[in-house]
Amino acid sequence: MKRILTLLLAMTMAFALVACGGKTSTPPAGDAGNTEGKKTLRVAMECAYAPYNWAQPTDANGAVPISGSKEFAYGYDVMMAKLIAEKLGYDLEIVQLGWDGIIPAVQSGTVDIAICGQSITAERLQQVDFSTPYYYASIVVLAPADGKYANATSVAELDGANVTSQLNTIWDTVCVPQIPNAKPMTGQKDAPAMIAALNSGRVDIVVTDQPTGLAAVTANPSLKMIEFEGDKGFKVSDEDINIGISTKKGNTELLNAINGVLAELTVDDFKQMMGDAIAVQPLQ
């Protein structure tokens, strides 16, 4: 009799769960379907790195809501995320994270991918997998247009400069040390902080990549972007300037799908999209 009562009780509880729509497990990140059965692609970025990505108060120009925020994300990375999600049949969710928290979030599966202007370095490849490049970013210098280094034609002519860059980037770890007798300031947390240090006179120059430089001079006409030709510039490898989309190691299905989308685009497509992002970036 006790076994029969136990069985009846279990059946009653199971029926109650079904009737109430109960679930026995929580879907993993990136696998939560909506009412139409579509999956969600959770994409990490800083939302503070124009023209790659930034936060804005409205959905102007097709900006996407930032998860857990009243703000919206836009920029080159959001354009790319929207394109990939559309091509692969996903809904899109933008997750705002600090730079140093992005790779751990990809590794843990908290997010599915990161589209955030990451260089495809050997060190990062030990932590995450990368797509083929979705942009190629040369290294430039920003300086006040009327400053001491505004007419520099080589890295050698930056001798003795007070300099900063973004913390934990190849600009900071690879390029800044190449400046003779440089006086480095501690790397900044993001692009706006770099520009603020330059505009305030705390540093003479900033080392960054071309898209960030173009965005900075568009928003700050008093600044000048300096590009060095050939061997007069910073010594960098392809891995330093090839920008990729990172995925959790071993997620080959998603990585191959992303690479399939990127294969349909050309370098000119990348440049056009970046130009479109710069044209509508917020002035900072």
Q: What are phi and psi of 254, to 5 degrees?
A: -70, -40
Distances (CA, A) of 124 to 17, 79, 245: 45, 24, 11
pLDDT band at 191 (very low <50, low <70, confident <90, very high): confident
Domain boundaries, the chain: 39-135+240-280, 139-226
Question: Strand pairing of 205-209 and 129-130?
Answer: unpaired
C-alpha torsion 108→121→273→283, nearest 10: 80
pTM of the model: 0.74
Structure token pair of residue 215: 């965005």
pLDDT band at 284 (very low <50, low <70, confident <90, very high): low
Homologous superfamily assigned to 139-226: Periplasmic binding protein-like II (3.40.190.10)
Residue 37 has pLDDT above 70, yes or no: no
Structure token pair of residue 208: 């960054």
Fold of 39-135+240-280: D-Maltodextrin-Binding Protein; domain 2 (3.40.190)
State the amino acid at position 46 in one-letter form: E
Rounded mean pLDDT of the chain?
87
pLDDT at res. 21? 36
